[in-house]
Amino acid sequence: MTQPEAPAPDAALPVLHALRCAGAVSVARVAAVTGLDPSDAESELIDLGIDGLVTRLPGDPPVWSLTGAGRAAGAERIARELESARARGRVTAAYERFMVLNPELLDLCTAWQLRPVDGVTGVNDHTDAEYDSRVLARFADLDGRAAAVCAELAAALPRFGRYRARLAEALGRAAAGETAYLADNTASYHLVWAELHEDLLVTLGRERW
Amino acid sequence: MGWVRPLSARTGGTAGTLGGKASGLVVLHRLGLPVPAGFVVTTGACRAFLRDGRPPAGLDEQLAAAVADLERATGRTFGGPHRPLAVSVRSGAEVSMPGMMSTVLNLGLTTGATEGLAAETGDRAFARDARRGFLASFAEALAAAAGAADVDADVDAVPDDAARQLARAVEAVFASWEAPRARTYRELNGIPHDLGTAVVVQQMVFGNRDGRSGSGVAFSRDPGTGEDTPFGEVLFGHQGEAVVSGRTTTRPLRELAEREPEVWAGLRDALRRIEAHHRDACYVEFTFQSGELWFLQARPGRFAGAAAVRVATELADQRLIGRDEALLRVSPLHLRHVRTPRIAPTAEADVLVRGTGACPGVATGRIATTADGAVRMARTGPVVLVRPETSPGDLHGLAAAAGIVTARGGPASHAAVVARAMGKPAVVGATGLAVDGASVTAGGRTLPEGTLVTVDGTSGEVVLGSPRTVTGAADAHLHRLLAWADDASGDHSARDEAQRLAAAHAALRGR
């Protein structure tokens, strides 16, 4: 069987796409999202900046964001990647499964932050270790089901494999006591999940509603 | 043994057997309110299904008999084609929970019955719309039942036989008890996994029948403030699912008064009667078809915070409950809100729009409609970021903003989770709010970016300008309730609000 001619690897695409899915972010977060070394990520960002696809905004730390041209170029290259991998059917199926899990994940983040007591929903003050451990156990259960979806996605398009690693890291840290990694920081399970959601929408060219 | 019971004023059984929804419908029947004819499949049948992996012996026959009764009562034929009977199929556990199958609408609209409906009404577009509603909700139901395992609910697999449609929908409700999201909810809330759900089957009323039809939800009192005035949403020309899904923009309930005064009068009367029965604020779901009002669900209102305080004191004033009961209706936990800043209840606030408070607190700032705009504008002063909804691309804007408003989404949306993580006052699901480029439109007013607004993440209000805010027990209703509390406990010393109420609870329970 002959393989279709492999397209030239698009080294800049993961960086360009990271800004599309994660928004305006620092070099450190581009590195975390893509798995690239920070200096490699920065060098790609600079090249993309020369092409007018991304722009650097002052701040502490400075953040990089897509230009209008970058957004258009990214969408076009992501669509091309999907078609050349003939992955639309598999990604669509995985997206449908993801959308079944999505409300449950949001329920869990909310249950971590808020807690009904006597019919009144208030802030979870994390003084009830038994309740918190129940929430964590359900995160772990959901993560097991999410892993299957991530595996299907990675089989369809290898770049999706990065989400599995990031979700596992967030949950591992939360289970080890760094509970801000559930819903409260920029590497949290919730935010990685939200980036995956955005990525699926962008990849399939869908609207959120 | 009976798995199926007709719904009427005489229907016996606890909420444990009939489920919460059917129990609410029995109450409506007893109050003489209009409820579409129907029957309930008990939780016992669900438990048998979950235990054996198949419906219990006799269920099919009992369903057939219940359908035959329904055909006689309505003078219609299930599956048509002549005067077809269409039904809704809904889950109804004792405690409602997310993740279970919600509703199959217009079941029984086989291809033949759809033709029959078109012929009967002379409205082919309506019949086709109803059939589409059936196919979509049936597919969604089967997908929910299959959980994460198989969501390819194939429309071609929909049986064109009404009885088989019903059997599959009932099984889908049973199976959805085990949906992972429902299981998670039960785990977190300490609800046993072996209760099972009932299934409510009722004759369809069509909110999409014509221009004088529609659906809505209503509270007898305002759930944000407790004020004694009906509050809710209505959607003209649509079936009920569209209201609940949030995918269609609803209208404020009071528009019913102008467009359908008789429906409005019937609704107000019913809310009073249901309140008197529960001796509490209540919530209803309703549909009106060609100007005729029907009730699909009713339950006590379950208000929180300041609204709970106001309802309890006013119910006591109205002599629906005594003062002791008013005190016991309010948990000391409801009083946590009194230490959170809120827009002063007495303020002459110009409310732009209302949604759901997702993170308590008050923030005043200039409207920004994009994340980049929020970052830019925040350099010179506080900003309120107003978005249709949020995605990770808005995160830097959320971080820069003092307050957050979204048109869509609920208290478990991405925006709500992020707002709470960042501790920013937020209002989500502000229906009727539209973000168009660099302006925001709500309630017929268009405001440009830069307009000063205030967000109250407790009440869910978004107010123009910068109204007075309060912290502490500024609320006249709370003052009165706490005075009753001190009388009950006999302790008039200075303590915080929750302690005063807790002392009253202890004294009342010790009597």
Per-residue DSSP letter, B379? G
Asked whether residue B146 carries a pLDDT value surpassing 80, the answer given is no
Closest CA to B287 of B364, B356, B206, B182: B206
Paired residues of B452 in beta bridges:
B366
SS (H, E, C) A149-161: HHHHHHHHCHHHH
Kindly determine whether residue B393 and residue A22, on different chains, have CB atoms separated by under 8 Å: yes
Average pLDDT of chain A, as a whole number: 92
- Judge whether B420 is closer than 8 Å to chain A, CB to CB: yes
Q: How high is the pLDDT of residue B244?
A: 59
- Judge whether B494 is closer than 8 Å to chain A, CB to CB: no
A:B CB pairs within 8 Å:
125
DSSP-assigned letters across all residues of B393-454: GGHHHHHH-SEEEESS--TTSHHHHHHHHHT--EEE--TT-EEETTEEEETTEEEETT-EEE
For testing the chain B interface, which of A17, A104, A206 should be mutated: the one with the most B CBs within 10 Å? A104
Asked whether residue A144 carries a pLDDT value surpassing 90, the answer given is yes
Pairing mode, if any, of strands B77-78 and B84-85? parallel
Q: How high is the pLDDT of residue B334?
A: 81
Amino acid code (one letter) for A95 = Y
Q: How high is the pLDDT of residue B49?
A: 96
Alpha-carbon torsion, ordered A166, A169, A175, A177, to 10 deg: -110
- Judge whether B247 is closer than 8 Å to chain A, CB to CB: yes
Asked whether residue B470 carries a pLDDT value surpassing 90, the answer given is no
User: Residues of A with CB below 8 A from B411's CB?
Assistant: 110, 114
Asked whether residue A75 carries a pLDDT value surpassing 90, the answer given is yes
Q: Shortest Cα distance from B2 to chain A (angstroms)?
A: 34
Q: How high is the pLDDT of residue B159?
A: 92
- Judge whether B375 is closer than 8 Å to chain A, CB to CB: yes
Q: Which of A89-98, B233-242, B325-334, B461-470 has the lowest mean pLDDT?
A: B233-242
User: Residue B80 — very low, low, confident or very high, per pLDDT cuts 50/70/90?
Assistant: confident
- Judge whether A159 is closer than 8 Å to chain B, CB to CB: no
Q: Which of A38-42, A69-73, A102-106, A120-124 has the lowest mean pLDDT?
A: A120-124
Q: How far is CA B449 from CA A148, B383, B428, in A?
A: 44, 10, 19
Contact A122, B333 (CB under 8 A): yes
Phi, psi for residue B460 in degrees, rounded to 5: 85, 10
Q: How high is the pLDDT of residue B347?
A: 63
Task: Report, as an integer, the average pLDDT of A88-94.
Answer: 96
- Judge whether B154 is closer than 8 Å to chain A, CB to CB: no
What's the CA gap between B88 and B244, in Å, rounded?
15
Q: How high is the pLDDT of residue B1?
A: 55
Task: Report, as an integer, the average pLDDT of A137-156.
Answer: 97
Per-residue DSSP letter, A25? B
- The encoded tokens of residue B317 equal 């004033």
Residues 6+ apart with CB under 8 A from B267: B218, B230, B256, B284, B286, B293
User: Residues of A with CB below 8 A from B393's CB?
Assistant: 20-24, 198
- Judge whether A190 is closer than 8 Å to chain B, CB to CB: yes
Q: Which of B139-148, B302-311, B314-323, B362-371 has the lowest mean pLDDT?
A: B139-148
Q: How high is the pLDDT of residue B377?
A: 95
For testing the chain A interface, which of B140, B151, B181, B424 should be mutated: the one with the most A CBs within 10 Å? B181
Alpha-carbon torsion, ordered B22, B28, B30, B35, to 10 deg: -90
User: Residue B434 — very low, low, confident or very high, per pLDDT cuts 50/70/90?
Assistant: very high
**Nearest residue of B to residue A138, measured between CA atoms:** B184
ipTM of the complex: 0.87
- Judge whether B245 is closer than 8 Å to chain A, CB to CB: no
Kindly determine whether residue B184 and residue A22, on different chains, have CB atoms separated by under 8 Å: no
Q: How high is the pLDDT of residue B249?
A: 67
Average pLDDT of chain B, as a whole number: 91
Looking at chain A, the whole-number percentage of residues with pLDDT higher than 70 is 95
The tens digit of pLDDT for each residue in B8-45 reads 999 999 999 999 999 999 999 999 999 999 999 999 99
Domain ranges of chain A: 13-83, 88-204
Kindly determine whether residue A145 and residue B148, on different chains, have CB atoms separated by under 8 Å: yes
Q: How high is the pLDDT of residue A209?
A: 59
Map out the domains of chain B with their CATH numbers.
4-203 (3.30.1490.20), 214-300 (3.30.470.20), 305-340+473-509 (no CATH), 342-470 (3.50.30.10)
> What H or E segment, with its residue span, contains residue B292?
strand B292-300
How many Å is the Cα radius of gyration of chain B?
A: 25
Residues 6+ apart with CB under 8 A from B211: B236, B237
User: Residues of A with CB below 8 A from B247's CB?
Assistant: 209
- Judge whether A100 is closer than 8 Å to chain B, CB to CB: yes
Residues 6+ apart with CB under 8 A from B1: B44, B58
Whether the link from the prior residue into B34 is cis, omega within 30° of 0, is no
Is residue A75 classed as helix, strand or coil in its secondary structure? helix
Nearest to A119 among B302, B371, B413 (CB): B302
What's the CA gap between A194 and B401, in Å, rounded?
20
Asked whether residue B175 carries a pLDDT value surpassing 60, the answer given is yes
- Judge whether A153 is closer than 8 Å to chain B, CB to CB: no
Q: How high is the pLDDT of residue B123?
A: 95
Kindly determine whether residue A116 and residue B189, on different chains, have CB atoms separated by under 8 Å: yes
DSSP-assigned letters across all residues of B123-171: -HHHHHHHHHHHHHHHHHHHHHHHTTS-----GGGS-S-HHHHHHHHHH
- The encoded tokens of residue A50 equal 């020369």
What's the CA gap between B151 and B158, in Å, rounded?
14
Q: How high is the pLDDT of residue B79?
A: 93
Q: How high is the pLDDT of residue B474?
A: 63
Asked whether residue A109 carries a pLDDT value surpassing 80, the answer given is yes
Asked whether residue A84 carries a pLDDT value surpassing 70, the answer given is yes
Q: How high is the pLDDT of residue B473?
A: 58
User: Residue A9 — very low, low, confident or very high, per pLDDT cuts 50/70/90?
Assistant: low
Q: How high is the pLDDT of residue B242?
A: 62
Residue of B145 and B396 predicted with greater confidence = B396
What's the CA gap between B460 and B361, in Å, rounded?
10
- The encoded tokens of residue A200 equal 């699926």
Asked whether residue B150 carries a pLDDT value surpassing 70, the answer given is no
User: Residue B302 — very low, low, confident or very high, per pLDDT cuts 50/70/90?
Assistant: confident
Q: Which of B50-64, B339-353, B411-425 has the lowest mean pLDDT?
A: B339-353
**Nearest residue of B to residue A118, measured between CA atoms:** B331
Amino acid code (one letter) for B208 = N
The tens digit of pLDDT for each residue in B176-221 reads 999 999 999 999 989 999 999 999 999 999 999 999 999 999 999 9
Count CA within 13 A, CB hemisphere, residue B497: 26
User: Residues of A with CB below 8 A from B413's CB?
Assistant: 106
Nearest to A101 among B148, B304, B371 (CB): B148
Q: How high is the pLDDT of residue B398?
A: 94
Asked whether residue B250 carries a pLDDT value surpassing 80, the answer given is no
User: Residue B476 — very low, low, confident or very high, per pLDDT cuts 50/70/90?
Assistant: confident
What's the CA gap between B385 and B449, in Å, rounded?
10
Nearest to A103 among B143, B181, B304 (CB): B181
> What H or E segment, with its residue span, contains residue B200?
strand B197-203
Task: Report, as an integer, the average pLDDT of A170-190.
Answer: 95
Contact B382, B374 (CB under 8 A): no
Kindly determine whether residue A20 and residue B412, on different chains, have CB atoms separated by under 8 Å: no
Helix B124-146 and helix B111-121, axial crossing angle in degrees, nearest 10:
150
Q: Which of B263-277, B334-348, B384-398 has the lowest mean pLDDT?
A: B334-348
Q: Which of A92-106, B177-191, B230-244, B360-374 has the lowest mean pLDDT?
A: B230-244
- A13-83, which class in CATH? mainly alpha
Q: How high is the pLDDT of residue A91?
A: 97
Closest CA to B301 of B327, B271, B259: B271
Q: Shortest Cα distance from A6 to chain B (angstroms)?
A: 31
- Judge whether A188 is closer than 8 Å to chain B, CB to CB: yes
Chain centre to alpha carbon of residue B197 = 19
What's the CA gap between A114 and B410, in Å, rounded?
14
User: Residues of B with CB below 8 A from A117's CB?
Assistant: 331, 333
